[in-house]
Structure 1
Amino acid sequence: MSKIIDARGKNCPMPVIMAKKEIDGGVKFFTVQVDNKIAVENLSKLASSQGFEVKVTEVNGNFDVRFSNGCEECEEILAKVENKKPLGDWSIFVNKSTIGVGNEELGQTLIKMFLYTISESEDYPKSILFMNDGVKVPTLNKQAAEHLKELENHGVDLLVCGACLNFYGLEDKLSVGRVSNMYEIVEEMKVVSKVITI
């Protein structure tokens, strides 16, 4: 989303100086809000002299002067791609809704913490595989599901056993990941160099 600079109530050359500061700072997309036509004209001249395109919209005597230099959508897509972390050659196999044996509440907290730690790490798994009681993590554990969404957004494949969802009556509660089957999950285990079971 482009930056918005509120220059309403400021006389020239202030709006132009504010816009030039953004340009000198390397900003390619921004909007200057002004409330007089003289400022619009001067901002348009600045944009032309600096190689920017300008688009002006007016609402009730207020003007939005939008500066652009390039493709804003392309820049946003590239930023998302560049921010993606690399996927590792490993998978996580989740076969229960908790980590460890003992207190169930503690186990659910630990699995949330585990997935959060993975989502913040520099090395993402290629996939996370959910079977048996493990399918309760992406369906019933809301906080864990949020961490899983973050991982999914970065390209981690989340495979959730469909037969297990059916067994526990959780088909309609899957909020992240995709329904899978035994064959696909086994094949996924074969293509990675390491599978970690939690």
Structure 2
Amino acid sequence: MFKEIDARGLSCPMPILKAKEIIENQNPTSIKVIVDNQAASQNVWKFLKSQGFDSVIESSGNDFAIIGKKQEESICDCETETKKESNNKISVMITSDKIGHGDDGLGSKLMVNFIKTLKEIGTDLWSVIFVNSGVKLTTEGSEVLSDLSLLKEKNRCNILVCGTCLNHFNLLDKKKIGETTNMLDIITTLQLSDKI
């Protein structure tokens, strides 16, 4: 069964929630979701992939069509297995590119030092989530790109970056590290965490 969803004009995470509802209630073998921004297209593509769909994104003008076909066999969710292995999953949410209010220069230095020190948590650090102006720390020119890369490679930490926020700041094409994600994934990550 084929289902088509027109999610143009809907803000994150509504396109994903509409697709989720169709998949759970109607179990289509193929699905097409139409959105009107790149961040939403990436989020829907990622969601369909997590649901066992082979998906492609086709763009036409300002619209993006994410077309997914159900795989014969579900691919192993290795990330989920890794999550289950961890005894203590700690997630950190970064909502700004600075810490505190008052002196922006000091706030920026504090944030850089904070991120550089996150590695001390060790392998219990499961995910670092960037939202609002915090997404700027994952983009071209950020002082902490090498530190985030170290967290990802050595600590096996998930770096999640809000796609709506990147889109708001016109930074989608300047992101250098992390997985562009959506509010549904962020909520799920927080829900599965032992400590935040």
Which TM class, normalised by the smaller chain length? Answer: 0.5 to 0.7
Name the counterpart of 2:184: 183
CA–CA separation in structure 1 for the residues paired with 2:138 and 2:189: 19
**Residues 31-69 of structure 1 deviation map (CA, whole Å, 9 limit, x = unaligned):** xxxxxxxxxxxxxxxxxxxxxxxxxxxxxxxxxxxxxxx
TM-score, scaled relative to structure 1: 0.52
Q: Which 4+ runs in 1 deviate beyond 3 A?
A: 120-124
Name the counterpart of 2:159: 158
1:142, CA displacement in angstroms? 2.2
Name the counterpart of 2:148: 148
Would you say how many aligned residue pairs link Structure 1 and Structure 2? 110
The 8 Å contact of residues 87 and 156 in structure 1, kept in 2 or not, is answered as: no
Does 2:127 align with 1:105?
Answer: no
The 8 Å contact of residues 135 and 164 in structure 1, kept in 2 or not, is answered as: yes
Q: CA distance change for structure 1 residues 118 and 139 in 2, over 3 Å: closer, same or farther?
A: same
CA–CA separation in structure 2 for the residues paired with 1:119 and 1:89: 14
CA–CA separation in structure 1 for the residues paired with 2:131 and 2:172: 13
Name the counterpart of 2:67: none
Unaligned runs of 5+ in 1: 1-85
State percent identity of aligned pairs: 31
Does 2:169 align with 1:168?
Answer: yes
Q: CA distance change for structure 1 residues 148 and 121 in 2, over 3 Å: closer, same or farther?
A: same
- What's the secondary structure of 1:127's corresponding residue? strand
The correspondence of residues 1-198 of structure 1 with structure 2, limited to 5 A, is 88-139=88-139, 142-154=142-154, 155-195=156-196
1:137, CA displacement in angstroms? 1.2
TM-score, scaled relative to structure 2: 0.52
Unaligned runs of 5+ in 2: 1-85
- What's the secondary structure of 1:142's corresponding residue? coil
CA–CA separation in structure 2 for the residues paired with 1:99 and 1:166: 22
**Residues 148-188 of structure 1 deviation map (CA, whole Å, 9 limit, x = unaligned):** 11001121000100011000000011111110000000000
Q: CA RMSD in A?
A: 1.8
